[in-house]
Structure 1
């Protein structure tokens, strides 16, 4: 993930938290905060999963290049 995309994702999460706080303050709608929290958690999980897959691919490539095919 590029740096600017990560910052944009963080900014969207912060805006979602602010919207949730305003919704509770002015409209007394408490269901919005858990929904926003789940959306933010899904976003973080998705981005983390991509990093884990990239790390696995890097590790497998290093392991496969160290194996000799002549033995």
Structure 2
């Protein structure tokens, strides 16, 4: 394992996921998930402005997980 950082996802679209929840979580303090930006993410044709809009659960060992629209 190791850290995940400085990830940018732009113009990603997911359809027909119904009530499926996703999780963003680091493994431990040495394997954190940090500085992830999702820009223009759509789920079921809806533009996402925050994690809960996309049924994304942000758990422990994370920081700087953001959602943006252009």
Q: TM-score, normalised by structure 1?
A: 0.22
Q: TM-score, normalised by structure 2?
A: 0.23
User: Which structure is higher in strand share?
Assistant: 2
Looking at CA atoms only, which structure, 1 or 2, has the larger radius of gyration? Answer: 1
RCO greater where, 1 or 2, for CA within 8 Å and sep 6 or more? 2
